[in-house]
Structure 1
Amino acid sequence: MANYLLRRVILGLAVLVVAMLLLFLLIYAVPGDPATIALGPRASEAQKAFFREQMGLDDPLPVQALTFLWNLMHGDFGTDILSQRPVADLVFAALPKTILLAVVGVLWAAVIGVPLGIWAAMRPNTWTDWVIGIISTSVVALPAFLTAIYALILFAVQLSWFPAIGAGEPGNYGDQAHHLVLPAFAIGVAWVGYIARLVRVAMLETLAQPHVRTYRSFGVSDLRIALRFVLPIAVVPVISVLGVGMGNLLSGAVLVEVVFSRPGLGSMAYDAVISRNFPVLLGSVVVTTALYVVANFIADAAIAYLDPRLAEKG
Structure 2
Amino acid sequence: MATYLTRRFLLALTVLVIALMVLFLLIYAVPGDPATIALGPRATELQKEAFRERMGLDDPLFVQAINYILSLLQGDMGTDLLSQRPVTDLVFAALPRTVVLAITGLGWAIVVGLPLGVWSALKPNSWIDRIVGIISTSVVALPAFLMAIYGLMLFAVTLKWFPAIGAGEPGDLGDQISHLVLPSLAVGIAWVGYIARLVRVSMLEVLGENHVKTYRAFGVSDFRIAMRFVLPIAVVPVLSVLGVGMGNLLSGAVLVEVVFARPGLGSLAYDAVISRNFPVLFGSVVVTTALYVAANFLADAAIALLDPRVAEQG
TM-score, L = length of structure 2:
0.99
Matches within 5 A, 1:113-262: 113-262=113-262
SS at match of 1:289: helix
Deviations 1:81-131 (A, max 9, x none): 111000001111111100000000111211011000000000101111111
| Amino acid aligned to 1:277 | N
| Amino acid aligned to 1:82 | L
Deviations 1:125-144 (A, max 9, x none): 11111111011001000000
Measure how far apart 1:196 and its partner are.
0.3
SS at match of 1:124: coil
* Structure 1 segments of 4+ aligned residues over 3 angstroms from their partners: none
Distance 2:159 2:131 in 1: 28
Distance 2:85 2:28 in 1: 20
1:298 matched residue in structure 2: 298
Distance 1:305 1:220 in 2: 27
Is the contact between residue 144 and residue 190 of structure 2 (CA under 8 Å) also seen in structure 1? yes
Measured on the aligned residues, the alpha-carbon RMSD in Å equals 0.7
Deviations 1:247-294 (A, max 9, x none): 321111111000000011111111111111110111111100100111
| Amino acid aligned to 1:231 | L
2:33 matched residue in structure 1: 33
Distance 2:40 2:129 in 1: 61
1:4 matched residue in structure 2: 4
Matches within 5 A, 1:4-153: 4-153=4-153
Is the contact between residue 144 and residue 255 of structure 2 (CA under 8 Å) also seen in structure 1? yes
Identity score, percent: 75
2:275 matched residue in structure 1: 275
Measure how far apart 1:52 and its partner are.
0.9
Measure how far apart 1:245 and its partner are.
2.3
Aligned residues: 314
Distance 2:51 2:92 in 1: 26
SS at match of 2:118: helix
Measure how far apart 1:19 and its partner are.
0.4
Structure 2 gap segments, 5+ residues each: none
Measure how far apart 1:63 and its partner are.
1.0
Distance 1:221 1:311 in 2: 32
Distance 1:300 1:13 in 2: 14
TM-score, L = length of structure 1:
0.99
| Amino acid aligned to 2:297 | F
Distance 2:84 2:188 in 1: 36
Distance 1:79 1:184 in 2: 31
Distance 2:159 2:130 in 1: 32
| Amino acid aligned to 1:286 | V
Structure 1 gap segments, 5+ residues each: none
Is the contact between residue 102 and residue 246 of structure 2 (CA under 8 Å) also seen in structure 1? no
| Amino acid aligned to 1:75 | G
Distance 2:233 2:82 in 1: 51
| Amino acid aligned to 2:160 | S
Distance 1:123 1:10 in 2: 43
| Amino acid aligned to 2:221 | S
Distance 2:204 2:3 in 1: 32
SS at match of 1:249: helix
Measure how far apart 1:5 and its partner are.
0.6
SS at match of 1:245: helix
Distance 1:269 1:61 in 2: 22
Distance 1:35 1:279 in 2: 12
Measure how far apart 1:246 and its partner are.
2.5
Distance 2:228 2:49 in 1: 67
| Amino acid aligned to 2:212 | V
Is the contact between residue 105 and residue 249 of structure 2 (CA under 8 Å) also seen in structure 1? no
Distance 1:272 1:313 in 2: 44
Measure how far apart 1:77 and its partner are.
0.5
Measure how far apart 1:295 and its partner are.
0.4
Distance 1:199 1:32 in 2: 47
Deviations 1:146-175 (A, max 9, x none): 000000001111111111111011111111
